[in-house]
Structure 1
């Protein structure tokens, strides 16, 4: 699915702003959802609605809400087809035009759209209603459970350790395309000697002959460096400039549909970074050079906005990553806004792209709170319907992000109960790679959740396990989570847990072990910043494992990490400067 784009043949209208907003009551029939909302609450889009209002009933609401606004189709679109696109509706969305239902989407972090050309004419106004449901069950991704009390009140529980923010957290668009138009583009890059290769597939509407599709590739100066024709093929770029971590270079791959008399019908451009990715033995190679991941697990999480996309926070977060020496992050634990992926492309930041399959581990609950362990993989818990939702999430993630140069790994789930009976049967159909994964991504908390505060014992256990994985598989390993809750401003002469001094000592221990493991190819600490969670007895206003506070102030550990990661970066640059840049 191509992101809406303004070109010489396409137009788009951004529908962000204040929308009329209301909770949907349990006795309110769906037929009434499209009725005009009376003057009352207004909710910002994009934003999660939970923390915007002061009403606790809205903050804790479980079920449907509805957003509504008036929209006018531009008069100039009389010869075009036009669509409504929702970037994300957490976790289920229904779209209505006036009183007509047009589309449903399940999954809270990937976009969906619907054509409305047949429902409203250019120059006309219409009532756009988007209903959003935040409920999680054993067959959703992520999973959860809803309990109903004696008074009929719903309570949502879930196993993932971040708040279940809901609503329209990303942009909503009205956009146009020509009758004959480009529907999708796939680019795959390779390198041959000093030349770059862009292999492409262009999907156009049914009435477009392949020979009417024209391709051109331009460099960052706007110079055409390659051309081709047809719906499939490849473009060769001589003396290619590679997309490198920390040094992004993006070509513009432009597809055009031309009429039989060579008139331009439609055009769309994709930013293409030429680079190669390879796992060789226990090394991870980008452009044939070993790459060591430094960075974070992150969250889309800020005060008031919740998961609402905010370009100011995005730019500031990337500035902080650059300052600290991070070269990568994981989209824990769901696909991030597409603007974030575009920005990572332009900034040369490497991304591990993850689905929203988090919380597939019922053993965690019994381990934390006691009681009889419930099997994760069963008909009553995570079952075939859950797996299909997981598979659909993977398909939509890859369809959206397949062309991003920044994406080097796909993560199909976070912390599933992989040791339980039934785990292989669940995951094997979701993955076609070798038994089953190319890279081992490990989340470990020795010294925090186990061996609490005893870092000497924790160091021994951590090294023992990592050496075991190395001996068993010989595959590259990334420590994708490790950290300790730390209250900013809490200090201790004895380096006690929760103090800033303990957090520093904790990370130094892990890094000593990382440096002794040959197959270790990276470290992404948990977490970039403190973030909100559900109300829990061991969570005081959220998770405090951030290197930065929720409002992006550095804890002491930030300076320790900066020294380490800047040193790794300098060493990598020294090695690269001595290599032959034309040999790939």
Structure 2
């Protein structure tokens, strides 16, 4: 049957959300070439099928798909010549009439055959897992419907054990571009239907680990740690963290308890210390990387390990000019390494959970992550939020399903310091229900949602694009009224940590006023920084009539409803070329800031890091005469702890103008050692002063 107008999140056959972890249990990838056909509208049930509508066919295991074409999975079919992309920022590309969607509903049918590998022979169960399908997806295994799901950037698992046969099996996936769930996915990005993340079969052995939930706290007062591991699955369970001497066996669930550790190194975005751990049951061993840190709020202060946390971050969509949102690990790693080299310490995953490997990289390289749920109903703003699903109880299960899948998959990542309920979805009972669910499920992280104007459902006060005057009015004393709040709610918001979830819009010659915003962040301790909008342009590779390549934006594919070039607003161009805006941002947010005195007599050094000292950098001075370097040296200095500053004299030879018409001294902060994101000698920041100008 069709589920296009069904507000439920999916079939009852879907399994409960659980953490993703590396395992020694067999995994079989179904990525590769699939058979594919595109239907211009959704097939209807056989009883009322019109002659001109194609046969659904995927319920026929003997279907001859020879007349179909080949499509790679993962992919978006519109980027492979089947239909066209469409870009909207705020408006929906169809009339607002929830939960109904247009009859013209592009539907992609995907089909492939496979045999279970020999490694699956002893499996007690076999699960089908997908990590991202844009649209409503229905699954058939050997002609039998296994289930259906929504939530384009969320994982789904189905138990297909009883549907598999020895030898060749057939998997079919039908993806409807539009469904009731489309009303919950109106993010500022291209609409790109398809199976765009991996499809896998998971062998689940007898005695498996069904879920592993890790909490790793650290007490900054004495450096001690506490490890809590919760397990769903068979016992006995063994937990091993060799570096910490942890070798624990729990015979039954009643034995499970926290493990106290006398001393642990802290995980932070600056020193991302990870410990390798294993959790084993009789049938399976899971491998995890654990980072110890404690996130808490004290009044209007957001703290990690007792120190104020300041986000110098960016909003990051998943976007590539040829692949769309299909993930490439090497390019994702290069993306994050470029962020690190430019002083970016935080990522808001706008506006959905990323590919799971991105969070592994964030754990490893070191980023503070605000992990956002796949939710946005922004288009209802056009109708004054009338019929917004966020306040319609019929949609409650869909909202709770989305946040449960978000938290369930990613809760073990130390890089994640805050959960975001979604973006620009108005307010209402379902937002409140999501917040309550998160607070029960994971009390270790604060809850974020910019649209919570009353402050009832969030732990931080978040704003988009406030003026500098508004920031002062929020943080200052006395204060004016706050954006869209009453006196009581304004007082509630003023008592919370303040975050700019979007600022510094990078479109055109933006971002603007970055230095002024950074000054405000420095001036107001309760302003915990923010996230520049956004990291990269979303242009898609296209060609002119005479074959010249260009990066297309809204309207370039002939879509009647679009928002033009508003998708081109990044610190990088679509092909990854950095813009001058990124150079400016790097100078403004530098984690170690230097300012050379106007007369060149000394340099002011500020360690603006969260917790790391400056023992990993050198201060290099360079004297230039008429633009030509003539001398250089290293300033001897005692390492500065995080938050400290000092003025260091420059030696006389660094200021020797000689006979030069112009003489400049430059001081650079340079890394001493190789890092995963840069070789030794990387310039973190610099400042220059004119010694003499004739």
Name the CA distance, whole Å, in 1 between partners of 2:610 and 2:240: 36
Tell me the CA shift for residue 136 of structure 1: 4.4
Of 9, 13, 20, 2:35 maps to: 20
Of 407, 414, 417, 2:416 maps to: 407
Name the CA distance, whole Å, in 1 between partners of 2:358 and 2:56: 35
Query: Contact (CA 8 Å) 2:59, 2:145: kept in 1 or not?
Result: no
Structure 1 residue aligned with 2:184: 143
Structure 1 residue aligned with 2:307: 289
Of 351, 359, 362, 2:380 maps to: 362
Of 435, 459, 469, 1:431 maps to: 435
Q: SS in structure 1 opposite 2:148?
A: strand
Of 483, 491, 495, 2:504 maps to: 483
Consecutive unaligned residues of structure 2, counting only runs of 5 or more, are 1-17, 43-52, 88-92, 94-103, 440-454, 483-489, 540-552, 594-605, 614-639, 644-694
Name the CA distance, whole Å, in 2 between partners of 1:143 and 1:175: 29
Query: 2:385 matched to 1:375?
Result: yes
Tell me the CA shift for residue 338 of structure 1: 0.6
Structure 1 residue aligned with 2:200: 173
Q: SS in structure 1 opposite 2:173?
A: strand
Task: Give the RMSD, CA atoms, in angstroms.
Answer: 3.0
Query: 2:240 matched to 1:216?
Result: yes
Residue 216 to residue 141, structure 1, CA distance change in 2 (3 Å): farther
Query: 2:431 matched to 1:395?
Result: no
Name the CA distance, whole Å, in 2 between partners of 1:315 and 1:142: 32
Of 33, 36, 43, 2:71 maps to: 43
Name the CA distance, whole Å, in 2 between partners of 1:437 and 1:141: 25
Tell me the CA shift for residue 181 of structure 1: 0.9
Residue 266 to residue 130, structure 1, CA distance change in 2 (3 Å): same
Structure 2 residue aligned with 1:156: none
In the alignment of these two chains, the number of paired residues is: 508
Q: SS in structure 1 opposite 2:576?
A: coil
Query: 2:238 matched to 1:250?
Result: no
Structure 2 residue aligned with 1:89: 133
Structure 1 residue aligned with 2:210: 183
Name the CA distance, whole Å, in 2 between partners of 1:243 and 1:114: 35
Say which is worse superposed, 333-342 or 472-481, in terms of deviation.
472-481
Query: 2:348 matched to 1:334?
Result: no
Name the CA distance, whole Å, in 2 between partners of 1:75 and 1:292: 51
Structure 1 residue aligned with 2:111: 68
Of 100, 113, 120, 2:144 maps to: 100
Name the CA distance, whole Å, in 1 between partners of 2:412 and 2:342: 28
- 1:253-264 aligned at under 5 Å gives the runs 253-258=277-282
Deviations along 1:561-581, one digit per CA (max 9) or x if unpaired, are: 101222457623497436699
Deviations along 1:158-179, one digit per CA (max 9) or x if unpaired, are: x532111121111111221212
Residue 161 to residue 505, structure 1, CA distance change in 2 (3 Å): closer
Query: 2:578 matched to 1:563?
Result: no
Deviations along 1:139-185, one digit per CA (max 9) or x if unpaired, are: x26537xxxxxxxxxxxxxx532111121111111221212211001
Query: 2:81 matched to 1:53?
Result: yes
Query: Contact (CA 8 Å) 2:139, 2:174: kept in 1 or not?
Result: yes
Tell me the CA shift for residue 324 of structure 1: 1.1
Name the CA distance, whole Å, in 1 between partners of 2:574 and 2:37: 29
Query: Contact (CA 8 Å) 1:45, 1:171: kept in 2 or not?
Result: yes
Consecutive unaligned residues of structure 1, counting only runs of 5 or more, are 145-158, 259-264, 366-372, 447-457, 487-497
Query: Contact (CA 8 Å) 2:21, 2:288: kept in 1 or not?
Result: no
Please give the TM-score of this superposition, normalised by the length of structure 1. Answer: 0.79
Residue 574 to residue 235, structure 1, CA distance change in 2 (3 Å): closer
Structure 1 residue aligned with 2:20: 3
Larger radius of gyration, structure 1 or 2?
Answer: 2
Structure 2 residue aligned with 1:133: 176
Tell me the CA shift for residue 245 of structure 1: 1.3
Q: SS in structure 2 opposite 1:28?
A: coil
Name the CA distance, whole Å, in 1 between partners of 2:173 and 2:368: 34
Name the CA distance, whole Å, in 1 between partners of 2:417 and 2:202: 30
- 1:401-480 aligned at under 5 Å gives the runs 401-418=410-427, 423=428, 425-432=429-436, 435-444=456-465, 458-461=467-470, 463-464=472-473, 467=476, 468-469=481-482, 472-480=493-501
Residue 464 to residue 167, structure 1, CA distance change in 2 (3 Å): same
Name the CA distance, whole Å, in 2 between partners of 1:300 and 1:398: 19
Query: Contact (CA 8 Å) 1:23, 1:58: kept in 2 or not?
Result: no
Query: Contact (CA 8 Å) 2:107, 2:174: kept in 1 or not?
Result: yes
Query: 2:219 matched to 1:195?
Result: no
Q: SS in structure 2 opposite 1:399?
A: helix
Please give the TM-score of this superposition, normalised by the length of structure 2. Answer: 0.68
Query: Contact (CA 8 Å) 1:21, 1:68: kept in 2 or not?
Result: yes
Residue 4 to residue 217, structure 1, CA distance change in 2 (3 Å): closer
Of 342, 345, 350, 1:324 maps to: 342
Structure 1 residue aligned with 2:190: 163
Structure 1 residue aligned with 2:120: 77
Deviations along 1:517-543, one digit per CA (max 9) or x if unpaired, are: 332101210000112565488844552
Structure 1 residue aligned with 2:527: 520
Structure 2 residue aligned with 1:386: 395
Of 564, 572, 583, 2:608 maps to: 572
Tell me the CA shift for residue 550 of structure 1: 1.2
Query: Contact (CA 8 Å) 1:360, 1:382: kept in 2 or not?
Result: no
Deviations along 1:73-104, one digit per CA (max 9) or x if unpaired, are: 01242221322211111132222112111122
Query: Contact (CA 8 Å) 1:249, 1:273: kept in 2 or not?
Result: yes
Say which is worse superposed, 565-574 or 174-183, in terms of deviation.
565-574
Deviations along 1:311-349, one digit per CA (max 9) or x if unpaired, are: 132012112111111111111111111111111111111
Query: Contact (CA 8 Å) 1:253, 1:270: kept in 2 or not?
Result: yes
Query: 2:156 matched to 1:112?
Result: yes
